[in-house]
């Protein structure tokens, strides 16, 4: 190093002098913004180094904060997950409690409306068999349950009790192949026997082929089995197949559609009437006609068809002859329809109408022939011919007619 300085001593001194003068100039000289050049050079030289140092400091701080300082984040996540699980369980519990309250309310409403004495029970288990259609409820002989009692829900029948234990009972569902109950249809009142098939659908046997059953018709208990009282809903018809001598009818039970959680055991059954079928065509209200329409309707109707005109003509002929249709005695002479009577529109007065009141009877001399019997022109009928007899001698001066005959008008 000393050899190098000795060799380039002059140049080194020159460079040092030049550098010193530049520094002095930078200290004295300012730019257009009144900032000394020395400050500008210093900041420009230090800024890249400061940027690198700051990047290193920020990265190291983030690493320490994320991976060293927050070493207990895993425990916090576990605590929050446990809290979330607890809230979920509590939410499900509250939902179940709400559903239980709703079912209990529905059972209470059903119990208040049905005349049968019922006992509420909850399903606590199912049968162990693969195809078992048996459930267990939490009511037994201690609560008054006996074998053979019916089990229902507000939606329909469920089954019957086949075994009663002190604190529980075994219920055979209606879908079991060993189940049977008497049913009756709502529309046609067709009686049959409901049988389980081991499937969600049940079958109704012994319905005659002539009974007209349709899909969508309801079946109700008939009370013939002495287990289920009459009038409880059973299910709705899903398929009807004609057969000889009985039809094949498949019914979907209505009591099992919403699952089995709460049921009612009929301790004392009371028969009810099968509800009537709802009216398909409801009555329609029609407002009264306006006054103008009422005035038009009060006018006499115009002549209709040819048959109406002929009927009017025949009635006028009968009225003119004093004949009342449908009131004549057997053997009475009918009206003479060969008589031409002018037909006038209804409500108009006919010219020269014949009075219906008959004129007073007129005494005729014994010598007058029977054909002179006084009648009205309209009611006058030709007299039967008299038997042949010798004509009496005509007097020269015939006697004068009575006064009442002389006073009669010529048209009578």
Is pLDDT at 142 greater than 60 in this prediction?
yes
pLDDT at 75: 81
What does R_g of the chain's alpha carbons equal in angstroms? 59
Round to whole Å and give the CA distance between 190 and 213: 9
Least confident of 36-45, 304-313, 325-334: 325-334
Q: Where are the alpha helices (DSSP H) in 191-305?
A: 291-298
pLDDT at 165: 93
The sign of the CA dihedral 385, 389, 390, 393 is negative
Note the pTM of the prediction, 2 decimals.
0.47
Is pLDDT at 395 greater than 50 in this prediction?
no
Round to whole Å and give the CA distance between 127 and 176: 12
Least confident of 169-173, 209-213, 229-233: 209-213
Is pLDDT at 402 greater than 70 in this prediction?
no
Please compute, for residue 242, the number of CA atoms within 13 A of its CA located in the half-sphere on the CB side.
Answer: 4
pLDDT at 342: 58
pLDDT at 202: 94
CB 242 within 8 A of CB 267: no
Is pLDDT at 162 greater than 90 in this prediction?
yes
pLDDT at 68: 63
**pLDDT above 90 coverage of the chain, percent:** 26
CB 229 within 8 A of CB 157: no
Q: How confident is the model at residue 111 (pLDDT cuts 50, 70, 90)?
A: confident
Round to whole Å and give the CA distance between 388 and 364: 21
Round to whole Å and give the CA distance between 237 and 250: 6
């Amino acid at each position: 190093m000393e050899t190098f300085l000795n060799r380039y001593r002059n140049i080194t001194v020159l460079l040092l002098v030049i550098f010193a003068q530049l520094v002095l100039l930078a200290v004295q000289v300012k730019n257009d913004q009144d900032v000394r050049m020395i400050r500008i050079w210093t900041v420009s030289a230090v800024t890249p180094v400061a940027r690198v140092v700051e990047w290193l400091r920020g990265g190291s701080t983030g690493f320490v904060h994320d991976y060293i300082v927050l070493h207990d984040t895993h425990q916090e996540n576990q605590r929050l997950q446990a809290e979330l699980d607890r809230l979920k369980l509590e939410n499900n519990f509250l939902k179940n409690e709400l559903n239980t309250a709703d079912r209990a309310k529905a059972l209470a409403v059903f119990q208040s409306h049905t005349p049968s004495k019922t006992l509420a029970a909850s399903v606590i288990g199912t049968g162990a068999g693969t195809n078992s259609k048996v459930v267990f409820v939490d009511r037994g002989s201690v609560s008054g349950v006996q074998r053979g009692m019916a089990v229902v829900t507000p939606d329909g029948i469920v089954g019957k009790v086949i075994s009663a234990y002190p604190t529980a009972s075994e219920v055979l569902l209606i879908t079991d192949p060993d189940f049977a109950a008497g049913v009756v249809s709502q529309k046609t009142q067709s009686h049959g026997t409901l049988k389980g098939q081991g499937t969600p659908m049940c079958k109704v046997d012994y319905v005659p082929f002539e009974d007209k059953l349709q899909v969508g018709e309801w079946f109700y208990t008939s009370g013939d089995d002495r287990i289920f009282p009459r009038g409880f809903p059973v299910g709705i018809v899903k398929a009807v197949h004609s057969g000889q001598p009985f039809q094949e009818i498949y019914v979907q039970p209505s009591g099992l559609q919403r699952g089995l959680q709460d049921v009612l055991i009929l301790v004392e059954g009371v028969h009810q009437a099968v509800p009537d079928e709802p009216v398909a065509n409801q009555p329609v209200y029609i407002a009264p006609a306006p006054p103008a329409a009422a005035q038009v309707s009060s006018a006499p109707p115009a002549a209709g068809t040819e048959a109406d005109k002929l009927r009017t003509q025949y009635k006028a002929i009968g009225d003119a002859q004093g004949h009342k249709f449908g009131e004549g005695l057997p053997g009475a002479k009918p009206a003479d329809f060969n008589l031409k009577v002018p037909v006038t529109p209804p409500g108009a007065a006919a010219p020269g109408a014949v009075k219906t009141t008959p004129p007073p009877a007129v005494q005729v001399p014994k010598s007058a022939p029977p054909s002179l019997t006084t009648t009205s022109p309209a009611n006058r009928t030709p007299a039967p011919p008299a038997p042949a007899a010798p004509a009496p001698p005509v007097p020269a001066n015939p006697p004068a007619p009575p006064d009442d005959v002389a006073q009669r008008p010529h048209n009578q």
